[in-house]
Amino acid sequence: MPFLPAMRRRRLSKAARLVCDAAWDIASAHPGSPVVYASHDGEMARSFDLWLELLKSHTVSPTSFGLSVHNATAGQWSILRRDMSEQTALAVCADGVETALAEAASLLEEGCGSVLVLAADDPLPEGYAVSATRAPFAYALAMVLTKGTRYSLTLSASDDMPSEAGMLPEAYWSGLEWVRFLLNGSRECRRVYRNREWLWQPASCRLKISAMSAPSTTWYRRY
């Protein structure tokens, strides 16, 4: 990534570097777009390192601490791009990309011409001994969302309640499944998470949400 100074690049986590690599060029093509960043684990890997440092030395680096919060990647993106556009950072569940796109759709309805959507995750450290779902590998997805007529996204309540164990293999795959849906040219992509059913379809209507139950997400919005 020659567009990033070496010192700044070293400070970024693997997921944050992937975000910059994936989004830099498309962000340049759509300057001023508000950002919606979604991640399941955020900077948890850095937080584990800080806890170990705190146990050993009883102190932590202020810089490292500042880079360990969930919206650190979005903040670093703003600094590196010198972009003061609105940002929203989401701590998401298995339907992370769909939740991010729903947030982006609301910004489009408010009058934004385009929205930059970023999704990224990095596997939790193996040293974290508690049983937990992990990303299959570090990845980042970047896309610019505008109003259009190519796809529809519908959210509805569902009586199909998959067990938590049944959802574990899919917990980090919503972004990857979205890419597969686009590449395969499928007629639809259906995803069920707890009581929420998302349906992707190529359609002659803009991105929409027909019904919505409250997702288990946390919002951090900056104006």
Q: Domain map of the chain by residue range?
A: 6-147+214-222
Q: Tell me the C-alpha distance between 17 and 19, whole Å.
A: 5
Cβ–Cβ < 8 Å for 178, 223 = no
Burial 79-93 (b: 16+ CB within 10 A, else e): ebbebebbbbbbbbb
Say if CB 214 and CB 155 are below 8 A apart: no
Residue-level pLDDT at 66 = 79
Distance CA(36)–CA(21), nearest Å, equals: 16
Q: Which residue has the tokens 């003061």?
A: 84
pLDDT in tens, 25-39: 999 999 999 999 999
Predicted local confidence at residue 160, as pLDDT: 62
Distance of CA 57 to the CA centre of its chain: 33
What local confidence, expressed as pLDDT, does residue 90 receive?
93
Q: Is residue 176 packed enough to be buried (19+ CB in 10 Å), middle (13-18) or exposed (0-12)? A: middle
pTM of the model: 0.79
- Position 38 scores a pLDDT of 93
Arithmetic mean of pLDDT over the chain: 79
Instruction: Evaluate whether 222 touches 173 at the Cβ level (below 8 Å).
Output: no
Q: Which option is the CATH number for 6-147+214-222: 2.40.30.10, 3.40.47.10, 3.40.50.720, 3.30.465.10? A: 3.40.47.10
- Per the model's pLDDT, the better-predicted residue between 163 and 2 turns out to be 2
Mean pLDDT along residues 181-210: 72
Residues 93-144: tens digit of each pLDDT = 888 889 999 999 999 999 999 999 999 988 877 777 666 677 778 889 999 9
Instruction: Enumerate residues 6+ apart whose C-beta is below 8 A from 53.
Output: 59, 60, 61, 64
pLDDT reading at 85 higher than 60: yes
> What is the pLDDT at residue 130?
67
Contact 115, 143 (CB under 8 A): no
154 vs 63 pLDDT, higher one? 154
Q: Which residues contact 109 (CB under 8 A, 6 or more apart)?
A: none
* Cα-based torsion angle of the residue sequence 15, 89, 2, 27 in order, rounded to the nearest 10 degrees: 130
206 pLDDT band, cuts 50/70/90, is very low
